Amino acid sequence: MYNNVFNLKGTLFKLLGFFMVIGFAQSAFALPSFARQTGEDCIACHVGGFGPQLTPHGMKFKLGGYTDTDGKSGKVPLSAMLVQGFTHTSKDQSGDAAPHFGTNDNLSLQELSMFVAGRFADHVGGMIQITGNDFDRRFAMDNMDIRFANTAQVADKDMLYGISLNNNPTVQDPFNTLAGWRFPYMSSELAPGPNASPLLDGGLSQQVMGATAYTLFDNSFYAEFGGYQSISRTMLNKINVDGSGRINGVAPYWRLAYFKDMKKQAFHVGLFGMNADIQPDYASGGPTDKYNDIGVDAAYQFLGTREHIWTLNSSYTHERRSLDATMLGGGASDRKSNVNRLDLSTSYHYMNTYGITLGAFDINGSKDQLLYNTGEQDAGSLNGSPNSRGYIVQADWTPWGKEDSWGAPWANVRLGLQYTGYTKFNGASKNYDGFGRDAKDNNTLFAFAWLSF
């Protein structure tokens, strides 16, 4: 019965999304519950009409525990989000892109999310997201970030401090460079993607629970330290999340950054890292796979008078692996290996309404025939290499999401057209999977309508 209810909702929203795509526009990741709570329009905290890219004001709202308010009571901390997408790849896939879909030209309900988000009590706030889609035909736990935050004076300087309880390393990060909130903020789930990336690049999303303590000192120096543990298999089944292994003990996470808000412009430079010992089969004891991630990042924003806004975001992650458990199980040729990832993006927005973003990514690392040459069409690597390289171009229109918009702050909409091109995919430009598929065959045109209310 539960699946039938969701299937009906999916069909209705798919039809609704189709008419919105052909009739007008949409988008969002600023949550209207935040706007109602603060009395501010979404562009106060977000670049481009609404999120998820944060302005300095938005960063401080997040670090402050989502608790800032206009002082008026009766605000309900509930929001919802719908994303309708259309995916076209340059060449049909060898099989269906996902259950209930074809090999190409797929219209999909990419996300239907519900949020409890905002101020819960003095110094306590958060965001809890539950998401369903056309692919899994079920609702599942998505991102969660619950915070306690407060301020103090230390050596005559302002210090903001807090604790974040979250289920996705980097989702709690206040900047726009790490995996949780990095461009592209929305991409197709029905197109082939590279088969390798560092663990910190979403490899533990929703499978873990962690607590991190953080501080922003003198509005400039940011530090965060904490750790993560795996959620039990039983609980993962209850919240409809798939697990890829169990962390042995606690996986430490850390983050350092220097941030400067100069009102009309802002920048930050930072370091981040995580170490995790993972048992792929969830068994206790025995060998583990060890992942040591370390990275650097930097970003710049020109905000000016908010008529012309330009941003630049960058991050580089280096991962050292010791795959003892995977090698023992016959899944890897070499015990020691590495994977590196570079991400760059730059965006321009006019009047927080019209935007264009250019992105580039490069993934490279050690070859491993057993690990990467899976023999799968579209997804394998004939030469056992994880190397992938490409670019992303996105144009979007956000007609609703500003103070004078229709339905503000309840209705937020963005329409986007995104093109992802590959110059290398899973180790090669030509015939990367051994079945004649080239990197450019995975070039993807993704049209989306994004509604938040």
pLDDT of the chain along its 453 residues, tens only?
334 333 333 433 343 333 333 333 333 345 777 777 887 877 888 898 777 899 999 999 999 999 998 888 767 788 888 999 999 999 999 999 999 999 999 999 999 999 998 999 999 999 999 999 888 888 999 999 999 999 999 999 999 999 999 999 999 999 999 999 999 999 999 999 999 999 999 999 999 999 999 999 999 999 999 999 999 999 999 999 998 899 999 999 999 999 999 999 999 999 999 999 999 988 777 899 999 999 999 999 999 998 999 999 999 999 999 999 999 999 999 999 999 999 999 999 999 899 999 999 999 999 999 999 999 999 999 999 999 999 999 999 988 766 666 555 566 788 999 999 999 999 999 999 999 999 999 999 999 998 887
What does the alpha-carbon distance between residue 301 and residue 240 come to, in Å, rounded to a whole number? 38
pLDDT at position 400 is 73
Q: What is the CATH number of the domain that holds 377?
A: 2.40.160.10
Dihedrals φ, ψ of 140, to 5°?
-145, 160
**How many other β-carbons are positioned within 10 Å of the β-carbon of residue 235?**
13
Q: Which letter does DSSP use for residue 428 in this model?
A: B
Q: Are residues 245 and 264 in contact, defined by beta-carbon separation less than 8 angstroms?
A: no
Q: How many CA atoms lie within 13 A of 168 on its CB side?
A: 20
Boundaries of domain holding 357 = 2-452
pLDDT at position 24 is 32
């070039």: which residue's tokens?
A: 443
Q: Give the chain's end-to-end CA distance (angstroms, integer).
A: 27
What does the alpha-carbon distance between residue 364 and residue 343 come to, in Å, rounded to a whole number? 12
pLDDT at position 410 is 60
What is the distance, to the nearest Å, from the Cα of residue 413 to the centroid of all Cα atoms in its chain? 19
Structurally, the chain folds into a number of domains equal to: 1
Helix (H) / strand (E) element for 180: namely none
Radius of gyration of the chain (CA): 22
């543990």: which residue's tokens?
A: 229
Classify the C-alpha dihedral 9-15-19-22 as positive or negative.
positive
What is the distance, to the nearest Å, from the Cα of residue 252 to the centroid of all Cα atoms in its chain? 20
What does the alpha-carbon distance between residue 276 and residue 246 come to, in Å, rounded to a whole number? 10
Cis peptide before 409 (omega within 30 of 0): yes
CA angle 186–202–428, rounded 5-degree value: 80
Please report the DSSP string for 52-81 in residue order.
SSBPHHHHHHHHTTS----S-S----EEEE
**How many other β-carbons are positioned within 10 Å of the β-carbon of residue 242?**
10
Pick the closest to residue 24 from 384, 377, 393, 397 (CA basis). 397
Q: Which residues contact 264 (CB under 8 A, 6 or more apart)?
A: 302, 303, 304, 305
pLDDT at position 34 is 78
| Rounded alpha-carbon distances, angstroms, from residue 363 to 184, 283, 319, 390, 425 | 16, 31, 11, 9, 9
**How many other β-carbons are positioned within 10 Å of the β-carbon of residue 129?**
22
pLDDT at position 160 is 98
